[in-house]
Structure 1
Amino acid sequence: MSRIRVQKVAEQMKKELAEIVRTSVKDPRVGFATITHVEVSGDLQHAKVLVSVLGTQEEKDGTLAALTKAAGFIRGEIARRLHMRVAPELLFRLDESGEYSDRIERVLKTIHDGEDGGSAGE
């Protein structure tokens, strides 16, 4: 299948997944979850969904477990909303890129503050 078509499906899936998670998934373990990225295979059989979750590691794990449990329901909703005969199998993963960039920023700030403190005494 063309890459352009796969990218369009991924973008539309991202929008629909966000709406489904926000309004239709009733599991109380689903906290403040944001769909950050959807990567669809070329044959549209599999989709990796990256989810950013605010909260403790326990809350993140709970949200991921709830989404994984609801994957069949969500997949059916995706098929219905996107008019697909068969929706891709969904694989939910935590998106830790935001936390990683925050950690790098803190380290760089610490280094920068350390340099400022050292140069002031010279």
Structure 2
Amino acid sequence: MLARVLERGVLHDPALYDARVTISEVTVSPDLRNATVWITPLGGGDASDLLAALKRNAGRLGGLLARDIKLKYAPKLRFERDTAFDTSTRIDALLRDPAVRRDVEAADDGEDGHDVDGHDGGEPEDRDGPA
């Protein structure tokens, strides 16, 4: 719903004209009076101007949202930058690193002297405990 409010362009803030934003998650308090909106610029990049503009317009956005979905109270919106995309990109880059890939493949091949269950190939484990 919030994305539709932003799309309509009813806010008169130049920083939000043609702003491309991804709303990745909204966490809402049980009483529906507070909501944290996790955002990131569509396609990545610096979010500081976008975040500042959304924070400036949070009251108006909350009012428009309450009207659109017919809430008794306008939720107090808090905007935060979502860093989950950055984290997943960093992890993906690490996993694609040739040294990491080599280590993972070596572990999959059992080159570390242990089988898949972590055993060293010696005596079988006593699963019944002491006799």
* Fold in common (TM above 0.5): yes
Using the size of structure 2 for normalisation, the TM-score is 0.68
What is the rounded CA distance, in whole Å, between the counterparts of 1:83 and 1:29 in structure 2? 28
- Displacement of 1:26 in angstroms is 4.2
Cα offset, 1:109, TM superposition: 0.6
1:85 deviation in Å?
Answer: 1.7
Q: Does 1:84 align with 2:87?
A: no
Matched, 1:56 2:41: no
Matched, 1:33 2:21: yes
TM-score by length of 1: 0.72
Q: What are the residue-to-residue correspondences of 1:1-122 with 2, within 5 Å?
A: 16-24=1-9, 25-30=11-16, 31-53=19-41, 54-57=43-46, 60-110=47-97, 111-112=100-101, 115=102
CA drift at 1:49: 0.5
More helix by share: 1
CA offsets, 1:14-70, max 9 Å, x none?
A: xx101112222343323320111111101111101011213432xx10000000111
Give, in whole Å, the separation in 1 of the partners of 2:54 and 2:30: 23
Identity in percent: 34
Cα separation, 2, equivalents of 1:62 and 1:82:
28
Aligned residue pairs: how many? 98
Q: For residue 40 of structure 2, what is the amino acid of its counterpart?
A: S
C-alpha distance in structure 1 between counterparts of 2:70 and 2:20, whole Å: 28
Output the amino acid matched with 1:50: W
CA distance in 2, matches of 1:78, 1:102: 32
CA RMSD for the aligned pairs?
1.8
Contiguous gaps of at least 5 residues in structure 1: 1-15
